[in-house]
Structure 1
């Protein structure tokens, strides 16, 4: 997984009833764009460091965003 600042990180729910989470990558920890990432979550406006798993994918900032 490789990302750029401004890309969206989408974490799909892995358990029934959990919401999908979407955040904006605000900082890269490695110059090659590999994890971990600093992410500002759109639902809480808080930032956290994320080590994304298999439920995660990256969307470019200009891609249409579809809430589930």
Structure 2
């Protein structure tokens, strides 16, 4: 798993009824974009995260809207 500052981390709930958690990666502490990441979650808390197999990184480029053609 590799990420850059500004990417988003999505951690899927791994038990029934547990919600997913998402947040912005504000710091990458691993070599070459690897974990751990400092993440500011959407609920306001910030934490150091070592993502497991239930986590996905969404790159900033993937979230940018496509330019309008006119």
**TM-score interval (norm. to shorter):** 0.7 to 0.9
TM-score (norm: length of structure 2)? 0.83
TM-score, with length taken from structure 1: 0.85
Aligned residues: CA RMSD:
1.2
Mark the structure with the bigger radius of gyration.
Answer: 2
Question: In the comparison of the two structures, how many residue pairs are matched?
Answer: 63
Structure 1: 5+ residue stretches without partners: none
Q: Which runs of 4+ in 1 moved over 6 A?
A: none
More helix by share: 2
1:5-36 deviations in whole A, cap 9, x for unaligned? 00000001100000000010000112411000
Deviation at residue 62 of structure 1 after TM alignment: 4.5
The correspondence of residues 41-52 of structure 1 with structure 2, limited to 5 A, is 41-42=41-42, 44-52=43-51
Pair 1:53 & 2:52 matched: yes
